[in-house]
Amino acid sequence: MTPQRSSPDRPATPSIHASAVAVAGQAILIRGPSGSGKSRLALDLLLAGRSGQIPATVLVGDDRIYLDAREARIWARPGPQLAGLIEVRGLGIRHCDFVSEAPVGLVVDLDATDGARLPAEESLVTTVLDRQLPRIPVQSGFSALPLVLAALITRRYASAQAPATTIV
């Protein structure tokens, strides 16, 4: 995936209110209500990628994300009018490099009612367009960045019933 500066030319499909960044080629889909910090988390992940804390990171889209199910995966892409734009609170709308699409490898739900210190197994998976994806539920008032970074740089503890897995 090469960052682009022009709008993708794909036809419009239904969109969701979300943001997404690609980390090492896989999108982190960030969902949540207005004002929950989707753009802020996207920016924080871009900065973490730029500083070397996590692999190379690039914007997929901010505010409006289009999702497609194909090739046995869910693909995220930016809204054509918003491609390459991100809201930075205190600075306004800013331009940045972006990719035209990326397969979703993780979903982060901000202000999630099922976020917990030790979340139930069923809280760590979500279904998007009939496909199951790993999920991080983040309670209101908690910072999502440390949870996402931990998911990216650690492996899940392997109990006797389940093997260790890597989210992205």
Q: Flag whether 91 is in a domain.
A: yes
pLDDT, position 46: 97
Our count of domains for the chain comes to 1
Q: Flag whether 4 is in a domain.
A: no
**Mean pLDDT rounded to a whole number for the chain:** 87
pLDDT, position 53: 92
- For residue 93, give every residue at least 6 positions away whose Cβ sits within 8 Å of its Cβ, in sequence order, or none: 85, 86, 87
Q: Between 38-50 and 144-153, two packed helices, what is the crossing angle to 10 degrees? A: 40
Tell me which amino acid residue 38 is: K
Q: Flag whether 37 is in a domain.
A: yes
Residue 105 CB neighbours (<10 A): 22
Q: Flag whether 67 is in a domain.
A: yes
Tens of pLDDT, residue by residue over 75-133, are 999 998 899 989 999 999 999 999 999 999 999 999 999 998 888 899 999 999 989 99
pLDDT, position 14: 75
> For residue 136, what are the domain limits?
15-153
Q: Flag whether 161 is in a domain.
A: no
Q: Flag whether 96 is in a domain.
A: yes
Residue 5 has pLDDT above 80, yes or no: no
Structure-token match 């908690």, residue found: 142
CATH number assigned to the domain comprising residue 58 = 3.40.50.300
Helix count (H) and strand count (E) of the chain? Answer: 2, 10
Grouping H, G, I as helix, E, B as strand and the rest as coil, residue 1 is: coil
State the pTM of this model.
0.85
pLDDT, position 166: 53
Q: Flag whether 5 is in a domain.
A: no
Tens of pLDDT, residue by residue over 42-63, are 999 999 999 999 999 999 999 9
Q: Flag whether 143 is in a domain.
A: yes
